[in-house]
A and B are shown apart, each in its own frame.
Chain A
Amino acid sequence: MSRTTPLHQIHEDLGARMIDFAGWDMPVWYDSATDEHHAVRTTAGLFDLSHMAELFVTGPQAGAAIDRALLINATGMPVGRARYSMMCNEMGGIIDDLIVYRLDDNEFMVVANASNGPVVFDELVERSAEFDATVDDRTDAFALVAVQGPRAESIVLQLTGPELGELRYYRVAHVELAGITGVTAYAARTGYTGEDGFELFVPAEHGVALWQALAAAGEADGLVPVGLAARDTLRLEAGMPLYGNELTLETTPFDVGSARLLKPKDDWYVGSDALAVAVDEPHDFLVGLHIDGRRPARTGYQVSSNDRAVGVITSGAPSPTLDQNIAIARLDHTPTVGDVVHVDVRGTTTLATVVELPFYRRPQ
């Protein structure tokens, strides 16, 4: 039996095609994933992300506990900051990528992927055992609704008031929602689409009211509901890694171009010993590819260069924005932009050109 989000009935009423995603019954598209993708690039999209795990770490040593558990320097974060980070195992393999929000001096919210919520929770509990900190899984207590796209700000501000417009990228604020009496939300300027936007965390029982208020506020701005299929192509165009595709237990942050997330060498945290060794060893690289022809290169397809196997496709899809098949590949070397490699598309050798990541950057 799949878990359902507080917005499940809304998806059913909208006629969404539902799929099982990490044990959750989630909308994969409402009408057309391509149209939904374009809407986020040109107007705005509304997402139900309530399947994502909200894990709260609280207490006088909450920051120190997170410093031990993740790659991040949490104690150094000001209240109201959000940071992208990873959790590694003792071998330096990636357990999950996540966002850490500092809500208060002694309160952090760690948002993990739905598929990894339970393992991240267990690891946080274990890794914080020596600290005066409590870990609490509040996934079911929250509805998480995102508004992403060039019109996201004007839509969200109709509910929160104009001050939230001042909130900068990767910041979070606690706000009251006009029109939904007595309800407050954590409003974060974060997302997974390559566009400006907000992620709004509200108590689960107010999820429907928030969704409906946003849908009404965004009607004139062309806000449309967006499912997981478009979410995936949006993040792919933006060059953002996905756990299970680019990121796995067998990859280290070095393999996926995330060395910038590591703390200085003298900080000890779970995985730091292994990563201190791995830094001087050969590792893989993520690269962008434009695939020739109409057939998408998909996860797992082999990549070769001069008849030598050099890596594997980790994600691939037709890019609605570029009208071109794109893919991220994990290769054993860094090719030069413009190099041509071969992808085995189910027996057919297909040419692919190495390009810079991300594939898409929003106009400034």
Chain B
Amino acid sequence: MSEIPEQLSYTAEHEWMKHDELTTVGITAFAVEELGEIVFVELPGVGDMVTAGTPCGEIESTKAVSEIYAPMNGEIIEVNDALESSPETLGEDPYGEGWLFKMKTDGGEYALLDAAGYRALIET
């Protein structure tokens, strides 16, 4: 069974979020296993304003292209540039070195999943 850390929140698009001063966003181990080997990651630009539920980047595996969805409204403050040269990091360490971007959210209310909710989602 895929690892689903308890302290993170999740979206139905298989993204995880860690809420500190900024919100760090990545994709889940489950998503990584579904994608297979990752060959290319396109991240949003620093300073981009993103809208919840809309695409803001792409992840390509050897077999397919998947969109990265912004989990919340806000501004992109920092992106994980290392993924550009070593996209495989995303597959190896999705909750650590494979984080995608950090954003400053608009403080709105979002219907995010907790670990149990996300587990229920991927097990159905």
Dominant SS at the B interface?
Answer: mixed
Enumerate chain B residues within 8 angstroms of A33, measured Cβ to Cβ. 36-37, 62-63
Contacts A/B (CB < 8 Å), 24 sampled: A17-B33, A32-B37, A33-B36, A33-B37, A33-B62, A33-B63, A34-B37, A34-B62, A229-B36, A229-B62, A233-B62, A294-B39, A294-B40, A294-B87, A295-B40, A295-B60, A296-B39, A296-B60, A296-B62, A298-B65, A318-B39, A318-B62, A346-B58, A346-B65
A110 within 8 Å of B (CB atoms): no
Interfacial residues, chain A to chain B (CB-CB below 8 A): 17, 28-29, 32-34, 229, 233, 294-296, 298, 317-318, 346
* Interface residues as binary, B12-39 with A (CB distance below 8 Å gives 1, 0 otherwise): 0000000000000000000001001101
Enumerate chain B residues within 8 angstroms of A317, measured Cβ to Cβ. 62-63
Distance of A345 Cα from B111 Cα, bound (Å): 34
Distance of A28 Cα from B58 Cα, bound (Å): 22
Q: How far is the CB of A284 from chain B (nearest CB, A)?
A: 26
Distance of A295 Cα from B58 Cα, bound (Å): 10
Q: How far is the CB of A359 from chain B (nearest CB, A)?
A: 16
Distance of A318 Cα from B87 Cα, bound (Å): 13
Enumerate chain A residues within 8 angstroms of B65, measured Cβ to Cβ. 298, 346
Distance of A33 Cα from B33 Cα, bound (Å): 12
Enumerate chain A residues within 8 angstroms of B58, measured Cβ to Cβ. 346
Nearest-neighbor residue (CB-CB) of B64 within chain A: A298
Distance of A296 Cα from B40 Cα, bound (Å): 9
Distance of A317 Cα from B64 Cα, bound (Å): 9
Restricting to B52-75, which residues have a CB under 8 Å from any CB of A?
58, 60, 62-63, 65
Enumerate chain A residues within 8 angstroms of B37, measured Cβ to Cβ. 32-34
Q: How far is the CB of A190 from chain B (nearest CB, A)?
A: 26
